[in-house]
Amino acid sequence: MLIASFAKPVGMFDNFFNKAVAWATGGEFCHSEFIFTYTGEEFEEILQGVQGHTFLKNKFKHYIENNKINICFYVIWGDTVSYRLLKHTHNNPFYRMPNDTQFKKLQLDTTMQEEEKMISFLLNQCGKYYDYNAALGYWLPWRNSMTEYSRYFCSQLMLTTLHQIQKHREHNPASTTPNQLYKILS
């Protein structure tokens, strides 16, 4: 199962910068990320086709709750593309499944084969830096749509990933904010 999660500038995202981002991009969201949910067995099978990521392969079983694993792929200001394993009961909100007061979540219609391709792509993007210039210049008309970038901002990463499974290709990831992506996916 795949969820597109959209953060409001409240809770752990409650700061002036995130409020300004939501306002400047014409909506209620300041950040977006993907959350994949599988049974432990399904996720172990997916990881068999993944090169590297030894830490993830060795530690994911510690994050299984009710035979489910939740992995979130994201990039936030000042960081690199990464993933985190989420629990429903974690004491740190960053590692907790998003709640309905701070996030809007959309379940996406994808097949297991499409999700495996997306996870493989996302794992290959891990470590790429946040793209400050693109995030600040998303509105510039000459920003090109590409199948992969050397840097990302959050919604750009998500839409580029969806392009890998031939979805929403009519939209340019380099010019898509979290608020625009929410409208595209809902």
pLDDT string in tens for the chain (186-residue length): 999 999 999 999 999 999 999 999 999 999 999 999 999 999 999 998 888 898 899 889 989 999 999 999 999 999 999 999 999 988 999 999 999 999 999 999 999 999 999 999 999 999 999 999 888 887 776 678 888 999 999 999 999 999 999 999 999 999 999 999 999 999
The pLDDT score that the predictor gives to residue 51 is: 86
Asked whether the beta carbons of 159 and 121 are under 8 A apart, the reply is: no
Task: Give the total number of structural domains in the chain.
Answer: 1
Helix (H) / strand (E) element for 135: namely helix 132-136
Contacts for 45-49 with beta carbons within 8 Å, 24 or more apart? Answer: 46/115, 46/116, 46/119, 49/116, 49/120
The pLDDT score that the predictor gives to residue 126 is: 97
Asked whether the beta carbons of 102 and 12 are under 8 A apart, the reply is: yes
Provide the domain limits for residue 173: 2-185
* Neighbouring residues of 52: CB distance < 8 A, sequence distance ≥ 6: 123
